[in-house]
Amino acid sequence: MPDLAVMQDEKFSLTRLRIELLSGLTVALALVPEAVAFAFVAGVHPLVGLYAAFLVGLVTALIGGRPGMISGATGALAVVMVALVAQHGVEYLFATVVLMGLLQVIAGVLRWGKFIRLVPHPVMLGFVNGLAIVIFLAQMGQFKVPGTMVNTGHGMSGGEWLSGSALWTMLGLVALTMAIIWLMPRITRVIPAPLAGIGVVAGLVIAFGLEVPRVGDLASIQGGFPSFHIPVVPLTLETFEIILPYAVILAAIGLIESLLTLNLVGEMTGKRGGASQECIAQGLANTLTGFFGGMGGCAMIGQSMINVKSGGRTRIAGVAAALFLLIFILFAAPAIEQIPLAALVGVMFMVVIGTFAWNSLTILRKVPLTDALVILLVTAVTVKYDLAIAVVVGVIVSALAYAWNNATRIHAVARASHTEEGAKVYEIQGPLFFGSAAGFAEIFDIEGDPELVIIDFAASRVVDQSALQAIETLATKYEATGKRIQLRHLSRDCHRLLTKAGHLMIDSDDDPDYAVAVDYGVRTGILGAGH
């Protein structure tokens, strides 16, 4: 008789496999118009975007840092590529994508992905809000008459808006798709809600012959299997100088978007880690894509949200999405081209609703003003420019705000010493670093202080070279007036910092917990006891 636990595991595995495959199919359907649209933005053939979605999606699904993430051609990269393609041609783009991938692999090997931890939560909130708005605005192009938009060299622009019955039909189908996605989980979870929405609306459009924009109106997705292709560019220093700046920018944007998406998916699935692995996976994927005629890519937050919301939790869903996309290109293009764009727009609108951090609107009044401003700033910059600039700006503003906050915390409590007769003790509170060095110098009354001054760092920390310089300058001023200072209760790491800089000489270990420095002299530095 078979073991009951084994039977349950097999049943669970079959159920999980079905969920993962259906989720992958849903993602693949949503990938098609996105890849085609981003290819247009970059100024390349639609198949260049589709091949990138297939190859990048497949490699990152197999070896990426977070199961459940979806990668492919993205608009954030396409807007950078367009200038390169316009000036030098698509072959230079392929070479750039190869170099971009190599740079990302190097970043992963050096474990630079861990620096994504430095991104504060307000920046993350601004990131998801800005990206939700960008996804929403990107769908507006689907409400224009197919074939009327033109590539201006900075992306697709212009075009005639749908009007009359065509517009109302489009809006009605979008609303119907959204309603199905909202209602479906309340009825059954056998089929992912987005897939059900796409299937029902596509069936209605085809059955009734409704005249609405379809995937095929964007471009034909029919093609062959991507073939190996070495970029046809001169192997010269001049070529390297042309592609290096683009490769660096693309690598940075791709990693930032991928790692932020990794964190977001991790919060939803309850998993952590994998940043360096994701960098390597993105790098290998882009290097391979550059040799197979793809435009490169990175993590896609919209498709990742579709996958997670559809139940995709393992690598199977990502692999299935890539393989389904290849099947579409090779065999099923005529059928896929009949899918109405309204159904896919409805899916993306639900992604927007699910991605936007609506709670951030209520917490703006509760969090510190600086954090609220960072959320709004990152959101605005993401919409106006791009994600990478927005994140860098948000991190810089947050860091400056943190430094200023700590700089204003430096102060001292002065009291008479109970151990050394006639001495004055300054109990420093708050970190001593470049931002607080000036405030530290203003604390002391050099002219009015007695001959012995004790500076107690029990509630402070000596952080950087600016702090060392501030201590040395202060000691020099006291020395000039014939007075001397002692440093007390330096933590061990602070003591090591001072010793390494040549400011302390350890001559006893009577205090195992704190460093006590005594008798500053200009020639010998600050003489200390303890460690």
CA-wise closest residue to 95 among 195, 233, 225: 233
pLDDT of residue 435: 87
pLDDT of residue 110: 94
Q: How far apart are CA 308 and CA 313, in angstroms?
A: 6
pLDDT of residue 301: 87
pLDDT in tens, 309-360: 899 989 999 999 999 999 999 999 999 999 999 999 999 999 899 889 898 8
pLDDT of residue 298: 95
In the chain, DSSP finds a helix count (H) and a strand count (E) of 20, 11
Q: How far apart are CA 483 and CA 54, in angstroms?
A: 74
Helices (H), 385-514: 387-407, 437-441, 465-480, 492-500
The CATH homologous superfamily of the domain defined by 411-530: STAS domain (3.30.750.24)
pLDDT of residue 511: 42
Tell me the three state secondary structure of residue 79: helix
Task: Show the low-confidence residues of the chain (pLDDT under 70).
Answer: 1-12, 147-158, 417-420, 493, 497-531
Q: Supply angle C-alpha 28, 34, 37, rounded to 5.
A: 145
CA-wise closest residue to 307 among 63, 21, 36, 56: 21
Q: How far is CA 7 from the centre of its chain?
A: 41
Domain ranges of the chain: 13-140+161-212+240-396, 411-530
Q: How far apart are CA 498 and CA 463, in angstroms?
A: 10
Distances (CA, A) of 376 to 332, 357, 382: 44, 12, 10
pLDDT of residue 117: 81
pLDDT in tens, 193-238: 999 999 999 999 999 999 999 999 888 999 999 999 999 999 999 9
pLDDT of residue 100: 98
As to burial, measured by CB atoms within 10 angstroms (0-12 exposed, 13-18 middle, 19+ buried), residue 355 is buried
Q: Give the pair of three-digit tokens for residue 231.
A: 């970029």
